[in-house]
Amino acid sequence: MQAIQEFSIQEPTGAGLECPNCGSRRIGSRNHGRKTGGALGAVAGGAAGAAGAMSGAELGATAGMVAGPVGAAIGGLFGALMGGLIGGSAGCAVGSKMGSVVDDNLLDNYQCLECGYTFSS
Q: Which residues pair with residue 111 across a beta bridge? A: 28, 118
21 binds Zn ion (CB under 5 A): yes
Site for Zn ion in 85-114 (CB under 5 A): 112, 114
Given 19, 42, 57, 94, the residue binding Zn ion (CB under 5 A): 19
Among 22, 47, 65, 101, indicate the residue that binds Zn ion (CB under 5 A).
22
47 binds Zn ion (CB under 5 A): no
Q: What is the length of the chain?
A: 121
Contacts of 63 (CB under 8 A, 6+ apart): 75, 79
Residues with Cβ within 8 Å of 102's Cβ and at least 6 positions away in sequence, in order, are 33, 34, 37
Which residue lies nearer to Zn ion by CB, 48 or 112?
A: 112
Amino acid identity at 21: N
Q: Compute the least distance from the CB of residue 109 to Zn ion, in Å.
A: 15
Contact between 17 and Zn ion by CB under 5 A: the answer reads: no
Helices (H) and strands (E) in the chain, counts: 3, 3
Q: Which residues bind Zn ion (CB under 5 A)?
A: 19, 21-22, 24, 112, 114-115, 117
